[in-house]
Every structure is written in C-alpha cells, then in structure tokens.
Structure 1
C-alpha cells in the first residue's frame, strides 16, 4: 500500500510517498479501515522535526497521522457491531503505537472507532476524533455543573472550537481568548470573546470556575480560577500545582469510540462545527506540513490518499 513516510528527522522535505508498505492485517478485536481522509496535527510536525521531548516506542521510519475517516475493509476475530464497508471514524494513539493514518489502510482497535456522521464528507468527519475527544475529555475532567463559567484559551483553534461548542451544549458560560480576527467565530459558539494580548491574565480579567488552557499560556492563569475551581493544562509539563482547592489536570487524549459516538450525534444535530482549512494529497504532504507550520490555521489540515 501507499503511505506518507519519513526515514530521518528534519523539515518537510524528508517526507516521501512510499508504495511498498505492507497492508496490515487485523488481529482480535481490531478492524482494518480503508482510509478516505486523515488529519495533520502540530504534534506530527514536532515528531517529524526530531523535537518531540520524549522517547517513542519504536524507531524510524514512521508513518504519521492520528485521525481517520474511511470504510471498514477487514474485520478481526471477536469484533461485533461493525460490518464490512461501514463508514467509520476514530484515531490512532500514535505516541503509544506509532501506527499512522497517512496511509491507504490502517488497523485500529474496534473500541477506538465509531460510525461516521451521516451526510458529512470524510474530509470533514476526519477533523473530529482527536480534537473533538480532546475537548470532550477536558470538560469531562472538570465535571462542571450547568451554569458554571469556563475560560478557554486558544479558543479559535480546532480543540478550542470544539470546547466552546461542547461548553454551550452543556449549559456552561464560556469565554474564549483568541486573536482579534476570531471574534465572529468565538461568538458564533455562544461564548464571550476576549482578544489575545501580551498579558492574557489581565485581558481576561475576572473570575472563572475553570480554565482550559489550550494556548499553553501556563500557571499565570491560575489567578483567574475561583477557589475550588478547575484548571486543565494542554501541555502536561505546565500543569500547575493545586492551590486554593483548585483541581489541576494534565490533558492526554485517549481513544474512546463510545464517547466519540456521542460527539457524532452532536455533529449530526448541527451542534458542533467541523472546519477544514485545506485538503492535500499524499504527494502534497510536504506542502501541508509547511501550511500548518505557518500557524493561524482555522480548521483541519486534511490528508487524502
């Protein structure tokens, strides 16, 4: 099968389309998916450049890519609830498995997948799994009752947009910290808008029941959290120590087909926006990496076979 791969660390120029990658076979509890679309993430760029700060389970070469939208091509033993040609979405926990989705086929645990949203193109559906579950799991950690207030930094990014939408669905009062050009999007999700500044804590002056720090601003935001509130750090090393009874969490997204299925229902009801910044073929993978590295992307950078 064909896949995007790299055999050395470096810039986007190290990416190659390799045609002789073995087609993986599903084992017990697994499904093989014929990939229709996958998504490029900042962590893919960090790993490709050799800047990822932790050891990975196996060495080069790597096929990158987490999210997948596609159709079931083969079913392993002990799998129920799916049939051949079902359209599904899910993601590979790449840092644990190094099983990449920028390939024509991928094998994943059935428990990590769910039925794709009806009537949604694969290029859009592929933007949901990793980032949507990151947002959902952040709010699940906080377990805020309806009516609570939450500040979301990086609110116009992919995870930020999902977090605002899910906060609205949960009856939370969200405030989104984002760039000046992002006011319309933040407010479209029912959130109050705060423009990004050199002093985010001052810009978002006030008190919140919780903060979801997706922009990795850091512990300075703790001063905005009410006593006994909650704080989710998107970067585990920047998880602050608990003070004033504030619960602090380091966010590490986990695959969860059941929870993802709940998000699919919200997509089908129009409650969650799916945004695509651009679609690139395998041959254009280097261009996609360049685009994401430029920053300011408002939507998924999608890779298709």
Structure 2
C-alpha cells in the first residue's frame, strides 16, 4: 500500500510517497481503510523537525534510527474511513463500520496519510452519518482540541469565554462547542470574519488588530472569565481575562503565558478519546458543529497540500483523499 513518510526533516518536498506492507491490527486495535486524511499544522511541524527540536519527539533522519529515533516518520493524525480488519479483543467496532479516528502518537512509522492505518479501538468512533469522509476527517484533532480545552476550563453555563482565532479550524469548533454549553462567547478574528463567527454562536466580537485587553473589557467589564487561545496570542490574550480566571493555550512553549493575576493557565495536550469523538459525531449530525473543507487533493499531492498550508489564509482544512 501507499504511505507518505519523512526520512529527514525539511521543507514540504521532504514528504515521500512509498510502498509499504499493510499494517496488521494487534489486540484491541482496528485497521481503517483510509477515505480521507486532514492536513493539520502539526503535520507540518513534524515534517520540518520542529517538534523533534523542541524535545516532543526523538530526532529522526539518516543515521538516527534505533533507540534514539526512527529512520522514517509517518505523517497525519486525522482519519475517516472504513474498518476492514479487527484485532483480538476488539468489542465495539466490526469490519464495515464507517469511522473517524485520531493518531495521537508523534513517533510512529505510519500516519494517516496512507491507504490504511491501524489505531487502538479507544481512538476510534463511528463517523457522523450526515458528513462525507472529507468533512468527517476534519473533526478528530481540531474538535477534540476545542472540546478538551473547554473541559480544562470547566465553566458553568452563563460564564464568558474569549476565543482567539475564532474563524480558524480549532477556533470555529471552540466557539460552537462553547455556545452549545451555554457560555457567552467573545470571538476575536479578522473583521471580515465577523458574520462567520457570529454564525458559529459568538455573542460578542472583537476585530483582530484592536488592543485585545481593552476591547474585550469594553464589552465585558472586568474581563472575561476565561480564554481559549487558538491564535497563540499568549500574554496579549491573557490581558483580556479577569483576575483569578482561566486560560487555555493550544500550543506549548512561548504560547503558554506566565499565570499573572492569579489566572489559572492550562496547556491542552490533545489525546485520543473514543467517547469524546463519538460525542462530536453526534453534535455534527445534530448541526451543532460545522466542519469546513478548504479543498481536497489526491494522496500523492501531499507536498502541494503542505505548500498551501504554509501559505496560510485557508478557511477549513485541506484533506487528502487516497
């Protein structure tokens, strides 16, 4: 079968299409025949070597195989497709099930950019019935990131939450999930995206480029109860949060601000969760989530997909179709 791998970190051209043996599911695992794989920023920073440089995965490349790292790394986290084989002890899923899943390990030889992928059963849920594979493939990583960020804040209905980057893939889901939980959402995005994010459920809007802390406090005196910072604004977004409030960064490193003024600062480290994935699928079928696909490309055009991703300006995710 075909798979996209990286032998040595680099630019999009570092992505290679290779022929490999089909993976075999082990205990409590399933093999998914991939119908669609979303292209996410984490794929680009894995390919570039930035995650290895940050110590989030072992180094890889020529001569780096063995205990310190792999000679090749698989790319792609999000998958939608059909179960075509199950391992011993698998109880929830059977061959023929249409599913979505998340590969949340970084250091693996095969990712979702492939004809087939093996995942633990606990990382897979039945796909939304109302979505095609391309749209369903945008749910796992971005939807779970937003879902788990809001869980970290643990806000009661009626509390206020600022979502930065509200027009983005994670930000859009965060707005919709927060509104569904009964939260008052203040959205920050480009002025051109105001109607879009209000359509997601944002009650209040602050255009990007305004002084965020002042603009938010003009709408919510004293500051919002919390923030989900998908735009990685860090201390700039923290300034909009009230004393003793909550803050979630969706990336590590400099995106995680110092917890000034007693604000509880969290960093969401995404993890696959079948129950949460199933809940997202139900919400999508009920019309509470809006998956967005910027474009679809054949699997063999992964290099072009990464070039487009790095140019920016996308609304929704690029999706590879084997």
Distance 2:280 2:116 in 1: 24
Q: Which residue is equivalent to 1:220?
A: 236
More off after superposition, 97-106 vs 250-259: 97-106
The answer to whether the aligner puts 1:230 opposite 2:246 as a matched pair is yes
Q: Which residue is equivalent to 2:149?
A: 138
Helix, strand or coil at the partner of 2:305: helix
- Which of 141, 159, 164 is 2:170 aligned to? 159
* Residue 55 of structure 1, CA deviation: 4.8
Distance 2:140 2:289 in 1: 12
Q: Which residue is equivalent to 1:38?
A: 37
More off after superposition, 220-229 vs 254-263: 220-229
Q: How does 1:1-305 map to 2 (within 5 A)?
A: 1-18=1-18, 20-52=19-51, 53-57=54-58, 58-97=69-108, 99-191=110-202, 192-197=204-209, 199-206=211-218, 207-237=223-253, 238-305=255-322
Distance 1:204 1:13 in 2: 42
Aligned residues of 2:28 and 2:121 also touching (Cα < 8 A): yes
Aligned residues of 1:177 and 1:204 also touching (Cα < 8 A): no
Are residues 117 and 182 of structure 1, via their aligned partners in 2, closer, same or farther at CA, if it must alter by over 3 Å?
A: same
Aligned residues of 1:94 and 1:100 also touching (Cα < 8 A): no
Aligned residues of 2:30 and 2:86 also touching (Cα < 8 A): yes
TM, length-normalised to structure 2: 0.90
Helix, strand or coil at the partner of 1:152: strand
More off after superposition, 181-190 vs 3-12: 3-12
More off after superposition, 129-138 vs 190-199: 190-199
Helix, strand or coil at the partner of 1:303: strand
Helix, strand or coil at the partner of 2:118: strand
Aligned residues of 2:5 and 2:75 also touching (Cα < 8 A): yes
* Residue 208 of structure 1, CA deviation: 0.1
* Residue 30 of structure 1, CA deviation: 0.6
Q: Which residue is equivalent to 2:63?
A: none
More off after superposition, 201-210 vs 116-125: 201-210
Distance 1:116 1:272 in 2: 14
Helix, strand or coil at the partner of 2:319: strand
* Residue 49 of structure 1, CA deviation: 1.9
Helix, strand or coil at the partner of 1:38: strand
* Residue 98 of structure 1, CA deviation: 5.3
Helix, strand or coil at the partner of 1:94: coil
Note the residue ranges of structure 1 that are not aligned, 5 or more in a row. Answer: none
* Residue 7 of structure 1, CA deviation: 1.8
- CA offsets 1:41-91 (integer angstroms, 9 cap, x no match): 112112212222225243232220000000101100111021111001011
Note the residue ranges of structure 2 that are not aligned, 5 or more in a row. Answer: 59-68
Q: How many residue pairs were aligned?
A: 304
TM, length-normalised to structure 1: 0.95
Are residues 122 and 145 of structure 1, via their aligned partners in 2, closer, same or farther at CA, if it must alter by over 3 Å?
A: same
Distance 2:237 2:191 in 1: 20
